[in-house]
A = this chain, B = another copy of it.
């Protein structure tokens, strides 16, 4: 499948099989081979194809492969990757392997990769592409087209050209379309009149960049240094990856799995990521168990309490998880608006309260029907109402509290929530039972 849509123009490949593959598919194929065969295959490929395929590989597979290749070959492959992909690859190599490869790189490439390595990988600088089309704002449209025709093959996604002054200060952005349809003799700077330039500093969080691009339907956003000089761009295809990674991170970290795990991760990696949180969960469960332990006497007298108490905890946990999910998605999709999100906690409380009333009432009548014990039914209904309300408030607040503390809003949030709804649910239910029923 030749791919004329992507930023990577298809190349004629020597290898008959790879000839038909998009780099993303070639990467899949490589990942399914044993490491030794991967090395053999890569050594047989044209360098350009090897570079494109390896850039698309999952890092769990890419790093061992790059480590196995002779440093000279690895260096040649890195040179042909886009600089941001090359920097991402180098960043994960062992220091001695990295050193060996750097010795084989030419000075200019090495310097570019090293400069990219200095950016925080979670910042705009860490995800930007540096192969951009930069034009002097004093060129005319016709001159610009000549320059574009000579340069365009080099640039990764040149939908936009960036206008700069002599000091490389970013002055404006034009799409190739804008330049194409403008009168040939007109200077580029005249096309920029009334443009409100949007650019982000290199240290902007990549998730903020993704939100900007998603909100305004940009195809790319320029990245500048603190002197407003252009450094690169973050493109929409990178943003899709950022959004997908963020969604996986949130969903997986919420329950204490690794944010970057996939079903392709080595299982030992998943084990290592999950186990600490299972121990946290165990400690938290022990707290809830201790609460139950306080009421062992009540349970001995009235074992039905042990039958009903998981229902309270379970309903409140579920109610809280609903609020939690909505709040985590809010934080993922929109820019953080402190006032708005804390007001949303009140909204969740209201929903939790009404759901608690309805479920509480249904349970009240259910218990009367089954056990004919109105006192027990009332205690159960009140405990449900209290714990579901608490769950909703806690579920909505936990991500906000984590965020205010500078932590990831999703991290283990479901575990913390369950601890609270379990222990408080047991406490209130068993406590009220002790007071009113025994």
Which A residues contact B (CB, under 8 angstroms)?
A: 1-8, 22, 24, 145, 148-149, 152, 158-160, 172-178, 180-181, 194-196, 198, 213-221, 236-237, 239-241, 243-244, 247-248, 250-252, 254-257, 261-263, 267, 270-271, 274-275, 277-279, 281-282, 284-286, 288-290, 292-293, 296-297, 299-300, 303-311, 313-315, 318-319, 321-322, 324-330, 332-333, 340-341, 344, 347, 350-351, 354-355, 358-359, 362-363, 366, 414-415, 418, 422, 426
17 other A-B residue contacts (CB within 8 Å) besides A22-B216, A158-B177, A254-B325: A3-B196, A3-B218, A145-B180, A219-B219, A261-B326, A267-B347, A271-B354, A275-B359, A278-B355, A281-B318, A282-B315, A286-B311, A296-B307, A300-B300, A303-B303, A309-B310, A318-B418
Chain B residue, CB-CB nearest to A9? B178
Q: Within the complex, which residue of B194, B217, B328 is in contact with A2, where a contact is CB–CB below 8 Å?
A: B194
With the chains together, A329 CA to B246 CA distance in Å?
A: 11
Chain B residue, CB-CB nearest to A253? B325
CB neighbours of A290 from chain B (8 A): 307
CB neighbours of A319 from chain B (8 A): 274, 278
Are B217 and A237 neighbours in the complex by a CB distance under 8 Å? yes
CB neighbours of A214 from chain B (8 A): 237, 240-241, 244
CB neighbours of A3 from chain B (8 A): 196, 198, 216, 218
Chain B residue, CB-CB nearest to A12? B194
Are A310 and B310 neighbours in the complex by a CB distance under 8 Å? yes
Are A181 and B196 neighbours in the complex by a CB distance under 8 Å? no
Q: A263-B330, A340-B263, A351-B267 are in contact. Are A363 and B310 (CB under 8 A)?
A: no
Are B355 and A274 neighbours in the complex by a CB distance under 8 Å? yes
Are A262 and B351 neighbours in the complex by a CB distance under 8 Å? no
Chain B residue, CB-CB nearest to A354? B271
Q: A4-B195, A173-B5, A236-B240 are in contact. Are A307 and B289 (CB under 8 A)?
A: yes
Are B362 and A279 neighbours in the complex by a CB distance under 8 Å? yes
With the chains together, A239 CA to B243 CA distance in Å?
A: 11
Are A1 and B303 neighbours in the complex by a CB distance under 8 Å? no
CB neighbours of A426 from chain B (8 A): 310
With the chains together, A149 CA to B311 CA distance in Å?
A: 67
Are B256 and A322 neighbours in the complex by a CB distance under 8 Å? yes
**Distance of A19 from chain B, by nearest CB (Å):** 11
Q: Within the complex, which residue of B219, B289, B354 is in contact with A5, where a contact is CB–CB below 8 Å?
A: B219
CB neighbours of A351 from chain B (8 A): 267, 270-271, 274
**A-B contact list, 25 entries, CB within 8 Å:** A2-B196, A3-B196, A4-B175, A5-B217, A5-B218, A6-B217, A7-B217, A22-B216, A158-B177, A236-B237, A251-B251, A255-B318, A261-B326, A263-B327, A263-B330, A275-B358, A278-B319, A279-B359, A281-B318, A286-B366, A288-B314, A289-B311, A292-B306, A306-B309, A318-B415
Are A255 and B322 neighbours in the complex by a CB distance under 8 Å? yes
Q: Within the complex, which residue of B196, B311, B322 is in contact with A274, where a contact is CB–CB below 8 Å?
A: B322
Are B303 and A289 neighbours in the complex by a CB distance under 8 Å? no
Are A341 and B263 neighbours in the complex by a CB distance under 8 Å? yes
Are B219 and A278 neighbours in the complex by a CB distance under 8 Å? no
The 8 A-B pairs of least Cβ separation, nearest first, read A306-B306, A247-B247, A263-B344, A255-B321, A5-B218, A257-B322, A217-B237, A285-B311
With the chains together, A308 CA to B291 CA distance in Å?
A: 11
**Distance of A380 from chain B, by nearest CB (Å):** 11
CB neighbours of A181 from chain B (8 A): 148-149, 152
CB neighbours of A278 from chain B (8 A): 315, 318-319, 355, 359
Q: Within the complex, which residue of B5, B177, B282 is in contact with A176, where a contact is CB–CB below 8 Å?
A: B177
With the chains together, A254 CA to B328 CA distance in Å?
A: 13
Are A285 and B194 neighbours in the complex by a CB distance under 8 Å? no
**Distance of A257 from chain B, by nearest CB (Å):** 4
**Distance of A395 from chain B, by nearest CB (Å):** 9
CB neighbours of A326 from chain B (8 A): 252, 257, 261-263, 270
CB neighbours of A322 from chain B (8 A): 252, 255-257, 274, 277
